[in-house]
Structure 1
Amino acid sequence: MGTALARAWLAAGHPLTVWNRGPARAGVLAAEGAVVAASAAEAVAANRLVVVCLLDDASVAEALDDADLAGKDVVNLVTGTPAQARARAGWAAGRGARYLDGGIMAVPPMIGVPAAGPYVFYSGSSALFEEHAEVLAVPAGPRYVGADPGHAALHDVALLSAMYGMFAGVAHAFALVRAEGAVTPGDLAPLLAGWLTAMTGSIARTADQLESGDYAKDVVSNLAMQVAGRRTLLGTAEEQGVSDELLAPYFRLMERRLALGGGEEDLAGVVDLLRG
């Protein structure tokens, strides 16, 4: 990801000093116009805007331990937790730097390709964001989500969590047909993609129910009916020799909500159970 970001800025004509824990990776960028620094501290010293894209939060502290951050604008694009982002903002402020945390919603091939739809959540110093918005927009569209440094990570992880939930359902679906043999994954794929796309319409309805507190508002299939239908889904998995471990936990939450009297509701009430 760091290399993809660097190449986008170089292609746009921005002067760039780079450092990488693996020197060979940084060396590749030299041929494309980047100045390669011998250390992270040297790279930081080269410019006021410092963009960090490393493995994790701990690697940020390690890499920048001896760097002089006074007067610098630090943009941290490491995927971390909201608490880590807030702590890192305090760490940066204590060293005299402004701080912006970022959550990249893209994979490397999307970076620098606007048509692919890449974007980055940013939170923290609004002054830093506004001053450098044009530069930050080069690799991916910038989306500022507030002064709280933890909000970019919160948005990032919320979207990634939903993605993995979808991946879990897709894995279960493919396992069901793979066990059959006569229905190929290729047969199922376009049907699955179309169905999941259609089901995204429920997201806005769930958000509206959560905000209004009326979980029975505009219900299409009530919870009681869906809990009753779980037997068919779990029974089919058993018949096909497929583990129910990806589906069963969600159905247990639905059963708990039903037991609390939510039979006429939609699925929004499950959110409350997850929050204890």
Structure 2
Amino acid sequence: MSTTNTPRTPVTVIGLGAMGQALAGAFLEAGHPTTVWNRSRSKGDSLVVRGAVRAETAEEAVRATELTVVCVVDYDASQAILAPLAEAFEGRVLVNLTSDTPERSREAAAWAAEHSIAHLDGAVMVPTPLIGSPEALLFYSGSQEAFDRHEPTLKALGGKAAFVGTDPGLAAIYDLSLLDFFYGSISGLVHAYALATGDGVKAADLAPYLSTIVQILPPIAEYTAANIDASSYPGTQANLGMMAAGVDHILHAARTRGLDVSQLESIKSVADRAVAKGHRDDDWASTYEVLADRDQNPSAA
């Protein structure tokens, strides 16, 4: 626990799954008096040993401090806990770090506004071992005043506490967008290993060379974002027609080796549609014009 003599803001944590326990533990480590509550009482045992106070009810937990952090499985679970506690939250701040969709975040914020509860929606972007570290990234959106007032306390959870806007759904948008990139990337990684092992190359033998690809991603991310925002896709370094041909080579090799090619087929389909729209000589970022064409995408709402 922190040895500083500076008084720390008391905080409540509701929901003591793996992430909730990590959040409560980070508050304790930073010296914040911490009250905890979970439906399964035993999940708070290790935190109580470390100095947390166990509330007997969710209402008691909320009333114990000005700031309550909730982290449960989804917004159905959080609202089931929180809905009966509107009166207990009067004059207090609710930070909901439950993962769900932007729509659910906005619904929860509307409920909070209806009951005059200061509300922050949030998203945790790191696994539990990194909670409390300077590198840990958490997004927050909703009440600017609540964030400004409690930012020092929230930074106990992670040094990168990013307030992304007053629309309460924005933290979830940032969360899902980064995870969209992550899951697409990790799926591509596993597929790359499957392609290599198909010819007897061990995944571990390929792994050291992937750093070359990883190292060029940060500048690619920056200029791709700039090109999309400017609706300008200069393909002077590598054009879409050339890269689509490269995807076709991978697709052929993967089919020959009996691999699942559904992800590659989707990538090739998007690239081909962008080429058909006149983007052959543009950068790969021009595929955005196909992905974001809501009139042509049947699944778009």
Place the TM-score, normalised by the shorter chain, in its bin. Answer: over 0.9
Establish whether residue 260 from structure 1 lines up as the match of residue 277 from structure 2: yes
- For residues 38-49 of structure 1, the aligned pairs below 5 Å read 38-49=56-67
Establish whether residue 71 from structure 1 lines up as the match of residue 113 from structure 2: no
Confirm or deny: 8 A CA contact 1:69 1:92 kept in the other structure. Answer: no
Q: Which runs of no fewer than 5 residues in structure 2 stay unpaired?
A: 1-18, 295-301
Please give the alpha-carbon distance, in whole angstroms, between the structure 1 residues aligned to 2:72 and 2:80: 10
Match of 1:129 in 2: 147
The C-alpha deviation readout for 1:56-75, integer Å capped at 9, x for no partner, is 01111111122122111000
The C-alpha deviation readout for 1:201-242, integer Å capped at 9, x for no partner, is 221121121122212x25321111122233311111122221
The RMSD of aligned alpha carbons is: 1.3
Q: What is the aligned counterpart of 1:19 among 37, 40, 49?
A: 37
Establish whether residue 193 from structure 1 lines up as the match of residue 211 from structure 2: yes
Secondary structure of 1:261 counterpart: helix
Establish whether residue 269 from structure 1 lines up as the match of residue 286 from structure 2: yes
* TM-score, normalised by the number of residues in structure 2: 0.87
Match of 1:62 in 2: 80
- For residues 22-171 of structure 1, the aligned pairs below 5 Å read 22-67=40-85, 68-114=88-134, 117-141=135-159, 142-171=161-190
Match of 2:249 in 1: 232
Q: What is the aligned counterpart of 1:10 among 10, 28, 44?
A: 28
Please give the alpha-carbon distance, in whole angstroms, between the structure 2 residues aligned to 1:145 and 1:229: 37
Which amino acid counterpart does residue 25 of structure 1 have in structure 2? K
Of 149-158 and 197-206, the range deviating more from structure 2: 197-206
Please give the alpha-carbon distance, in whole angstroms, between the structure 2 residues aligned to 1:75 and 1:219: 46
Secondary structure of 2:139 counterpart: strand
The C-alpha deviation readout for 1:84-134, integer Å capped at 9, x for no partner, is 1111111111122100111111110001222xx111111111110011111
* TM-score, normalised by the number of residues in structure 1: 0.95
The C-alpha deviation readout for 1:125-167, integer Å capped at 9, x for no partner, is 1110011111000120211111111111111111011000101
Secondary structure of 2:38 counterpart: coil
Of 150-159 and 204-213, the range deviating more from structure 2: 204-213
Which amino acid counterpart does residue 250 of structure 2 have in structure 1? L
Please give the alpha-carbon distance, in whole angstroms, between the structure 2 residues aligned to 1:124 and 1:57: 16
Which amino acid counterpart does residue 137 of structure 1 have in structure 2? K
| Displacement after TM superposition at 1:200 (Å) | 3.6
Confirm or deny: 8 A CA contact 1:17 1:43 kept in the other structure. Answer: yes
- For residues 194-209 of structure 1, the aligned pairs below 5 Å read 194-209=212-227
Of all paired residues, the percent bearing the same amino acid is: 38
Please give the alpha-carbon distance, in whole angstroms, between the structure 2 residues aligned to 1:248 and 1:27: 50
Which amino acid counterpart does residue 131 of structure 2 have in structure 1? I
Please give the alpha-carbon distance, in whole angstroms, between the structure 2 residues aligned to 1:255 and 1:166: 20
Q: What is the aligned counterpart of 2:198 among 163, 179, 190?
A: 179
| Displacement after TM superposition at 1:34 (Å) | 0.7
| Displacement after TM superposition at 1:252 (Å) | 0.2
Please give the alpha-carbon distance, in whole angstroms, between the structure 1 residues aligned to 2:95 and 2:236: 43
Please give the alpha-carbon distance, in whole angstroms, between the structure 1 residues aligned to 2:100 and 2:51: 30
Match of 2:3 in 1: none
Which amino acid counterpart does residue 8 of structure 1 have in structure 2? A
